[in-house]
């Protein structure tokens, strides 16, 4: 028959299952607590933070991601002390130290708790407790007393009985802690899933709004183009006429500056050209359209949806926890 696991083995298993870092998977060394309540070794966090800084240095500022918890991905805000400035998890540190201690067997002879100068070398069979010679008269008068060595089989039997109960209780505690781990994982997964659903709903709304925006902008752009096209034709016509009239006026001024015999022999049609523009009609500015935007008015902002909560059953149908 295989030997039952020792308490030392149980302690090592507890260290590995419940007091180990989620990065290096070893028992915590100088554990640091993040705001999200997850705990990691100081060295592991420093190594991750160094890698994060190196990644940030290689990308534009606007693309840099915040430093995050490696389990739940929650952003972690650090002070000027960086990772070292995070609070120490003293409880986890003390528990790691406690579970790492080796049990000391043997040593000095036991002294009586009531009579410090006396050794516990007797055993009260009625009370099933070790006693010293002075205890017999103080609290065990008339009881059956024997030597500790003679009572050793009975003492060990009692210890074995209590040890079995203690090991069963340890298993109950371990089962409870594993259930807590399972619940924490389910809660973290649930949070991640809910966040993803909210982000998807947000992106869908953004796409819808972008589509509406593009449609509205297209209407404004088309109206503007139509307006510009309607104004360009008359503008070009008048601009052409202005250029021609300007040239004719310049010719006329030059003719007036010359001697009579000269300009009469050159161009006698300048006056006729100027007269042609006298009855030229200036086109009216065509009718154009102005755009105005009226935001949709509603009693509330655009709603993505709502978050509801319900109680998650943490009880197992096959496991009960008696912690008393």
| Bridge partner list, 39 | 33
* Model confidence at 28: pLDDT above 90: yes
**Tokens standing for 91?**
């409880």
* Model confidence at 324: pLDDT above 50: no
Could you give the C-alpha distances from 222 to 188, 225, 229, 239, 290, in angstroms and in order? 50, 5, 10, 25, 12
Q: Tell me, what's the pLDDT at 31? A: 95
Percentage above 70 pLDDT, the chain: 87
| Bridge partner list, 32 | 40, 88
Which residue is listed with tokens 């200036």? 282
For the ranges 44-58, 88-102, 223-237, the one whose mean pLDDT is highest:
44-58
**Tokens standing for 324?**
């008393």
Which tens digit of pLDDT belongs to each residue from 106-142? 545 677 877 878 887 888 888 888 888 888 877 788 8
Percentage above 90 pLDDT, the chain: 30
User: What residues have CB less than 8 Å from 5, skipping those under 6 apart?
Assistant: 13
Confidence band of 272 (pLDDT split at 50, 70, 90):
confident
DSSP one-letter string for 284-301: PPPP-------PPP-SSP
For the ranges 69-83, 137-151, 279-293, the one whose mean pLDDT is highest:
69-83
* Model confidence at 105: pLDDT above 60: no
Q: Exposure string (b/e) for 193-214, b if CB count within 10 Å is 16 or more?
A: eeeeeeeeeeeeeeeeeeeeee
Do residues 111 and 130 touch, judged by C-beta distance below 8 A?
no
Do residues 99 and 11 touch, judged by C-beta distance below 8 A?
yes
Question: Dihedrals φ, ψ of 294, to 5°?
Answer: -115, 105
DSSP state of 79: B
DSSP one-letter string for 54-65: HHHHTS-GGGPP
Rounded to the nearest integer, the mean pLDDT of the chain is 82
Question: Dihedrals φ, ψ of 33, to 5°?
Answer: -100, 130
HEC secondary structure over 108-176: CCCECCCCCCCECCEEECCCCEEECHHHHHHHCCCCCEEEHHHHHHHHHHHHHHHHHHHHHHHHHHHHH
Q: Tell me, what's the pLDDT at 127? A: 83
Could you give the C-alpha distances from 76 to 35, 39, 86, 193, in angstroms and in order? 7, 12, 10, 20
User: What residues have CB less than 8 Å from 317, skipping those under 6 apart?
Assistant: none
Which tens digit of pLDDT belongs to each residue from 156-215? 888 888 889 988 898 899 999 999 999 989 998 998 899 999 999 999 999 999 998 999
């Amino acid at each position: 028959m295989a030997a039952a696991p020792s308490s030392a083995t149980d302690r090592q298993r507890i260290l590995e299952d419940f007091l180990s870092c989620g990065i290096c998977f070893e028992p915590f060394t100088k554990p640091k607590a993040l705001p999200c309540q997850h705990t990691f070794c100081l060295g592991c966090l420093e190594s991750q933070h160094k890698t994060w800084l190196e990644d940030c240095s290689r990308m534009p500022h606007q693309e840099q991601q915040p430093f995050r918890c490696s389990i739940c991905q929650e952003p972690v805000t650090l002070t000027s002390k960086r990772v070292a400035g995070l609070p120490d998890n003293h409880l986890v540190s003390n528990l790691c130290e406690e579970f790492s201690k080796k049990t000391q067997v043997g040593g000095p002879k036991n002294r009586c708790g009531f009579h410090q100068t006396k050794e516990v070398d007797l055993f009260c069979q009625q009370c099933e407790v070790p006693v010293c010679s002075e205890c017999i008269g103080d609290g065990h008068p008339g009881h059956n007393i024997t030597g500790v060595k003679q009572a050793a089989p009975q003492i060990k039997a009692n210890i074995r009985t209590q040890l079995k109960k203690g090991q069963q209780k340890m298993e109950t505690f371990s089962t409870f802690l594993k259930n807590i781990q399972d619940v924490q994982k389910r809660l973290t997964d649930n949070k991640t899933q809910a966040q993803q659903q909210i982000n998807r709903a947000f992106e869908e709304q953004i796409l819808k709004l972008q589509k509406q925006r593009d449609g509205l902008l297209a209407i404004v752009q088309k109206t503007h183009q139509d307006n510009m096209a309607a104004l360009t034709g008359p503008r070009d016509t008048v601009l052409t006429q202005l250029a021609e009239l300007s040239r004719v006026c310049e010719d006329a001024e030059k003719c007036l500056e010359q001697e009579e015999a000269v300009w009469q022999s050159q161009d006698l049609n300048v006056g006729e050209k100027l007269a042609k523009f006298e009855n030229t009609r200036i086109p009216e500015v065509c009718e154009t359209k102005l755009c105005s935007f009226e935001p949709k008015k509603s009693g509330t902002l655009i709603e993505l949806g709502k978050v509801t909560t319900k109680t998650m059953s943490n009880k197992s149908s096959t496991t009960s926890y008696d912690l008393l």
